[in-house]
Amino acid sequence: MIIAAMTFRLHAPWVHSLKEKRMVVKSLVSKLQNHFHVSAAEIDEQDTHQIIVIGVAAIAPHTAMADSLMDEISDFVENNTEAEILDEQREIR
């Protein structure tokens, strides 16, 4: 069993309130959960309006599948939000 973990740090310059940020985060997290059946949540910078940090975790049967899944998730995040990806971290355990 392989655990794939990813962290995305996004910048959303048009967000001017925590309510707006919450809508962006909720939408992206929900899309990730529904499309990939992974665990996803905002994990840091909850009080910063324009910075979004989302963590994603999944279980895969082998490393090749975990790598492939992380590539797909990365592409999905890039294509499903207007926010700029500042940083992406990947970890396989």
**CATH of region 2-92:** 3.30.70.1120
For 64, the 3-state DSSP assignment is helix
**Strand order across the 39-44 sheet:** 39-44, 51-60, 2-11, 84-92
Q: Helix, strand or coil for residue 14?
A: coil
Q: How far apart, in whole angstroms, are the C-alpha atoms of residue 79 and residue 28?
A: 11
**% of the chain with per-residue pLDDT over 90:** 95
CB atoms within 10 A of CB 4: 22
The per-residue pLDDT for range 27-42, each reduced to its tens digit, is 999 999 999 999 999 9
Residue pair 62/69 in contact (Cβ under 8 Å)? The answer is: no
pTM summary value: 0.91
pLDDT digits (tens, 9 = 90+) for 11-27: 999 999 999 999 999 99
